[in-house]
Every structure is written in C-alpha cells, then in structure tokens.
Amino acid sequence: MNDASMLKNALPGVLSLEPYTPGMPIEELQRRLGVKDAIKLASNENPLGMSPKAMAAVQAAIRGDLARYPDGGGFRLKKKLSELHGVAPECITLGNGSNDILEFVARVFLGPGRKAMFSRHAFAVYPIATQAQNAEAVVVPALPPDAAMAYGHDLAGFERRLADDIAVIFIANPNNPTGTWLEPRAIEAFLAKVPRQTVVVLDEAYWHYQDPATRPDSRAWLDRFPNLVVARTFSKAYGLAGLRVGYGLSQPQIADLLNRVRQPFNNNSLALLAAEVALDDEEFMRRSVALNREQKDRLVRELRAMGVNVLPSQGNFLAVDFARDAKPIHQGLLERGVIVRPMASYEMPTFLRVSIGTEAENTKFANALKDVLKA
Ligand SMILES: *Cc1c(COP(=O)(O)O)cnc(C)c1O
C-alpha cells in the first residue's frame, strides 16, 4: 500500500505531529515483559484512588438510567463549582479532562498565522494543541539548570517575547513534568504586562498539592485580567483521571466561545456525578494531600541519599536527574515491575518522572531503583 493520496489533504500540522506518549498501563507491562504485581508511578494519578463517597455515588448511578444522554450543560456540577469559586456559572466551561479546556482555547484562538507561547519542558499538550491548529509555537527557554528553579518557566523570558501576534500563552503552575512553580506575585505582575488580546491559560492541574503559602488565588485575578483562563482538573488530587473531568474559569465572553466548540455531551453522566460528589469529600482531599506531602519528602530524601538529583516539586511527582541517559534505568525499573515516565520527549533525556505513590509503592520503587543503580 504505497498510495498515500488519501492523506494529501491532511493538515500539515497534523502530519508532522508527534503523538502524546502516555504512561504505560500496568496491563501492557504484564503483556510485554510478563512482570507480575507491577506498579504504575507514571501518570500522576492519585494512589488512594477516588473519593469513597464519589465511588458509592457512581456505583448507585450505574443502576440508574445510562441510556439517557447526560446533562450537556452540567448544571449541578457548575452550580457546585460556582459556589466553590464564587463565580457565576457562566464563567465555567466543563471539559473531558482539563485537556479539553486546553484544546478549546487552541481551537477558538489559534490557527495559521497565530502564535502560542509556552515554556520549554512544559506540559506536552501545549505544543500538540498548537501544532494541530497549524499555529506557530514560541518556545521560551526554561531557567538554566543552575537556577534556583532549574528548568522552570522564565517569566522574564516570556515578557521579552510578548508581541501582538501572540494569541495564547500557556503557563503550567506547577509545571508537569518538572514540578517547578511560580510565585503568585510574579504571575500577577506578568499578567499585568500581557496585552489584553492575548489569552493566558493558567494551568493549575496540581493546585491542591501546592504549599498553601505559595499557591495563587487565581480566581481573584479573573476580574482584573479578562484575558485569563484558569484550568483545573479532577484527574489528579480528586482521583478521577479515568472519568475525565476538568474545567475552565474565565470571563463569560471567553467561556461562551469555549462552549461553542465543546461537543454537546463531552462529560458523561457518571463523570459529572463523581466530580460533584468529590467536591464535597474534603476528608478524602485532606488525606490525599497529606499522603503526597509526607511521601514526597521521604522520596526526595531517599533519592538524594542515592546520589541522584531531584528537582524541587509542588506536584504529586518528582523529576529525577540521573546525569546520564535515563533509558536503561527506565528499562531496569520496568523489568522490576515499576513503571515511571521517561522525559526524553520533554528534551530532558537524563531525567525520569516518578509519581508519588502509596508508602508501599514508593518503597518498591526505591528498592528497585537501588537495585538498578548498582547493577
Ligand atoms: C494532568 C495534567 C492536565 C490535565 O489532565 P486531564 O486529565 O486532561 O484533566 C493538565 N495540565 C497538566 C500540566 C497536567 O499535568
């Protein structure tokens, strides 16, 4: 089959796109290497699973009427979110994961001749969404490896590249895969310098895991900066990655446009319900955040004791630098039943990203890594 004519009209941005590489599912490792009892610390999921209250609600709802379409307007979830954030429901856009929100912004504001700006080593979906729209990426070099916030976003560098033809700026705070973060004052000062026709997406997927002292009250910026879109997700601390729910907060005029490109039933009924109930389970959120804090500190100590460098992180994961090609280490961990995430596609080939697991999972990872490093 050599005739590729049927691809002739595919958009150039799509033809040259490198697909997103997700963390390997446990099943795949078992299939490929025959490893039993594997653990996955590769996708920044909540190791405690989901809120037991949300689980009970979903289980009961399965016996309900799934033959009906979901509420395409997400009325109840939006009502809860609007109370939580003190914004009108018209300010909220619901997404099939916050990935959807990033794509809606790209679809509404990006296209040929438009530019999107983001940091090097930032979340992989920004370049993908940009390129799929045949827009141009302005990649801002990250802070250098010897900076206090090594590999983090360089807002001064962003500022130097501000221009009227930049339609969208993506900022991940904290950033995945580096774990780096920005001071709220620095973000605020930057927002004040961005031209009003440039939409800024502040991607706060890891907000709950942040130190309360350094996490922004981004909601308060929505009134001052009408070009701001805050993206949040239920995939990380809320533990609903498999159900796919995220949302955007913005001025109603932006939300209205985002909602026009949203497919009408992008959130399924179970996902809407789970998210709604998860918002009320403060106890589960507290446990999740506390476990992450305690286990992250512990892993940082153990990794440093093994002589490897760990970037400071405010997420539920660590970027670990082995100062040499990390591929064999990744492979060694796979053979020992531990799935972590390579960072070569983020142009950080000496790093691996490790999600913080339960105490037992982290012990298994630490032991496997010690074993690999001495082999
Ligand atoms: C995980 C993640 C997301 C969103 O994931 P969804 O599951 O689509 O909500 C968004 N941004 C960053 C930086 C992430 O790490």
3-state helix vs strand vs coil in the chain, percent to 5: 45, 15, 45
Instruction: State the distance from the centre of ligand 1 to the C-alpha of 360, rounded, in angstroms.
Output: 25
- State whether 290 and 266 are in the same domain: no
Q: Write out the two tokens for 265.
A: 């039933």
Ligand 1, atom 15, residue with closest C-alpha: 176
Contacts of 59 (CB under 8 A, 6+ apart): none
- State whether 26 and 92 are in the same domain: no
Contacts of 76 (CB under 8 A, 6+ apart): 272, 276
3-state secondary structure of 29: helix
- State whether 335 and 347 are in the same domain: yes
Query: Per the domain annotation, does 351 fall within a domain?
Result: yes
Which CATH number belongs to the domain containing residue 129 in this structure? 3.40.640.10
Mean pLDDT of 245-264: 97
State the CB neighbour count (10 A cutoff) for residue 165: 11
At 81-129, the pLDDT tens digits run 999 999 999 999 999 999 999 999 999 999 999 999 999 999 999 999 9
Instruction: State the distance from the centre of ligand 1 to the C-alpha of 204, rounded, in angstroms.
Output: 8
For 10, 93, 276, 345, 357, the CA distances from 361, given in Å and listed in that order, are 44, 35, 29, 25, 5
At 280-326, the pLDDT tens digits run 999 999 999 999 999 999 999 999 999 999 999 999 999 999 999 99
Query: Per the domain annotation, does 334 fall within a domain?
Result: yes
% of the chain exceeding 90 in pLDDT = 90
DSSP lists the bridge partners of residue 246 as: 95, 233
- State whether 92 and 137 are in the same domain: yes
Instruction: State the distance from the centre of ligand 1 to the C-alpha of 233, rounded, in angstroms.
Output: 7
Query: Per the domain annotation, does 34 fall within a domain?
Result: yes
Instruction: State the distance from the centre of ligand 1 to the C-alpha of 244, rounded, in angstroms.
Output: 10
> Which residues have CB under 6 Å of ligand 1?
44, 97-99, 123, 172, 176, 203, 205, 233, 235-236, 241, 246
Instruction: State the distance from the centre of ligand 1 to the C-alpha of 323, rounded, in angstroms.
Output: 27
Cα separation, 357 vs 359, in Å, equals 6
Ligand 1, atom 2, residue with closest C-alpha: 205
Instruction: State the distance from the centre of ligand 1 to the C-alpha of 241, rounded, in angstroms.
Output: 9
Ligand 1, atom 11, residue with closest C-alpha: 205
- For ligand 1, pick from 43, 98, 202 the residue to mutate: most ligand atoms within 8 Å of CB: 98
Q: Which of 72, 54, 71 is nearest to 62 (CA)?
A: 54
Of 244, 278, 312, which residue is a domain's last?
278
Instruction: State the distance from the centre of ligand 1 to the C-alpha of 4, rounded, in angstroms.
Output: 34
| Confidence class for position 20, pLDDT limits 50, 70, 90 | confident
- State whether 226 and 146 are in the same domain: yes
Nearest atom in ligand 1 to the alpha carbon of residue 43 is 1
- Helical residues (DSSP H) of 306-337, grouped into ranges: 327-335
Q: Write out the two tokens for 15.
A: 């033809």
| Confidence class for position 33, pLDDT limits 50, 70, 90 | confident
Instruction: State the distance from the centre of ligand 1 to the C-alpha of 305, rounded, in angstroms.
Output: 31
CA 98 to centroid of chain Cα atoms: 8
| Confidence class for position 34, pLDDT limits 50, 70, 90 | confident
- State whether 74 and 150 are in the same domain: yes
Q: What is the 3-state secondary structure (H, E, C) of 155-176?
A: HHHHHHCCCCCEEEEEEECCCC
| 118 neighbors 139 (Cβ within 8 angstroms) | yes
Of 228, 259, 278, which residue is a domain's last?
278
Is the pLDDT score of 227 beyond 70? yes
- State whether 75 and 45 are in the same domain: no
- State whether 250 and 171 are in the same domain: yes
Nearest atom in ligand 1 to the alpha carbon of residue 241 is 7
% of the chain exceeding 70 in pLDDT = 100
Q: At what angle do helices 52-62 and 269-280 cross, to 10 degrees?
A: 150
| 220 neighbors 56 (Cβ within 8 angstroms) | no
Instruction: State the distance from the centre of ligand 1 to the C-alpha of 162, rounded, in angstroms.
Output: 25
E strand spans, the chain: 39-40, 92-95, 115-119, 136-140, 166-172, 199-203, 228-233, 246-249, 309-310, 317-321, 338-339, 341-342, 351-355
At 353-375, the pLDDT tens digits run 999 999 999 999 999 999 999 98
3-state secondary structure of 54: helix
- For ligand 1, pick from 43, 100, 206, 233 the residue to mutate: most ligand atoms within 8 Å of CB: 233
Nearest atom in ligand 1 to the alpha carbon of residue 175 is 13
Q: 349 phi and psi, to 5 degrees?
A: -70, -15
Range of the domain at 238: 62-278
Q: Give the global pTM.
A: 0.96
Query: Per the domain annotation, does 25 fall within a domain?
Result: yes
Residue 297: predicted pLDDT: 98
Mean pLDDT of 44-59: 97
Residue 19: predicted pLDDT: 83
Residue 65: predicted pLDDT: 86
- For ligand 1, pick from 50, 235, 247, 316 the residue to mutate: most ligand atoms within 8 Å of CB: 235
Query: Per the domain annotation, does 364 fall within a domain?
Result: yes
Into how many domains does the chain fold? 2
Of 278, 298, 327, which residue is a domain's last?
278
Query: Per the domain annotation, does 127 fall within a domain?
Result: yes
Residue 1: predicted pLDDT: 60
